[in-house]
Amino acid sequence: MQPNYYTEVDLHEMSADQVRRLNVGWFLGIKRFEHLRKGRWDSGIERHWPMEKIHYSATLAGKSDACLHTRRDGDLFLTRLSHQPQRVCEVGQ
């Protein structure tokens, strides 16, 4: 069993669009999070997930039970990312 994490962040200096783009970059390992990219791919995040869909509402399934759900309603942006830790995905490969 592994814990779930819930985070609520109040970012007064950033627009909702900036926060959303930052989150998507972290999920996919792009831009300032490029150093995470290989680990994301190894844990099941798909390279071809469409960024524009992720910015609005999407449910995307990857390898090794990785899944990203996003929902957008105005300034509200909800996300749920689940994946296996990289070390688990590497077993048996």
CA distance 14 to 11: 6
Task: State which amino acid sits at residue 56.
Answer: Y
Q: Is residue 71 part of a domain?
A: yes
Number of domains in the chain: 1
- pLDDT given for residue 34 in this prediction: 92
Q: What is the mean pLDDT of each run of 10 residues along the chain (93 residues)?
A: 62 81 86 89 86 86 88 84 62 41
Residue 9 included in any domain: no
Ramachandran angles phi, psi of 79, nearest 5° = -135, 150
Give the C-alpha separation, 62 to 75, whole Å.
27
- Full-model pTM: 0.68
User: Does any domain span residue 6?
Assistant: no
- Let me know if residue 1 belongs to a domain: no
